[in-house]
Structure 1
Amino acid sequence: MTEIRPVRAADAPRLTGLLAQLGYPGELDAVTTRLAAVLGSATQQVLVATPAGGSRIDGYVGVERRPPLLEQDERVEVTGLVVDAAARRSGIGRALMRAAEQWAARHDLHTVVLRSNVARPESHPFYEGIGYRRKATSHLYRKEV
């Protein structure tokens, strides 16, 4: 049985490992600092999947309340979803996404959006299988200033 709960500061080491599996390796100190910012945020939440009563973390989903823009209403964006490689295809991803949708509903928001990198084609059928539809394909540009 999987339990979904809010992240805790003590979860930083395991989250660091999950981030590496997602392709974002980082130092524990950096993840700990970022996690502290998320824990102090009124607009962000990270939810983790653990075996009932266990300390292992099998996955996480990050959500953020996004303000309205001229072209879009207020919405919730999934900022990250990863399930440990050893726990994939067990329903944990679905449970985490359901928890993200419930978080949105508790905040009286009815639209959930996410981005899925083209480099992760195996994830696209998962999202489509739980009711998400592709709305756009775009490029991300970045410049350090």
Structure 2
Amino acid sequence: MGGLVVDEHHRGAGIGKQIMSECEKWAWMNGFNKIRVRSSGKREAAHRFYVAIGYEEKKWQKVFDKLL
């Protein structure tokens, strides 16, 4: 999965949880034992969502750019 975004007008309706549940089922049935999710450091609501559905934060990372 390249990304998960639920339209702001539909958040809280269980759509994201349903999508993640189906992804987890697919992964398990296809021999995977882990799913890793990456989320921008600024997306605090998304972080709370992932924790609420059982994901655990593993590391914090920053990205640095320099315009040339």
TM-score interval w.r.t. the shorter chain? 0.7 to 0.9
Gaps of 5+ in 2: none
Give the structure-2-normalised TM-score. Answer: 0.85
Q: Give the superposed CA RMSD.
A: 1.7
Question: How many percent of aligned residue pairs carry the same amino acid?
Answer: 36
SS of the residue corresponding to residue 36 of structure 2 reads strand
Aligned residues: 66
- Answer with 127-136 or 102-111: which moved more: 102-111
* 108 and 87 in structure 1: CA distance in 2 versus 1, 3 angstrom threshold: same
**The structure with more strand, counted as a fraction of residues:** 1
Letter in 1 for 2:37: L
Q: 1:103 aligns with which of 22, 26, 37?
A: 26
Distance 2:32 2:63 in 1: 26
Equivalences for residues 3-82 of structure 1 within 5 A = 63=1, 79-82=2-5
Letter in 1 for 2:33: H
Gaps of 5+ in 1: 1-62, 64-78
Matched, 1:83 2:6: yes
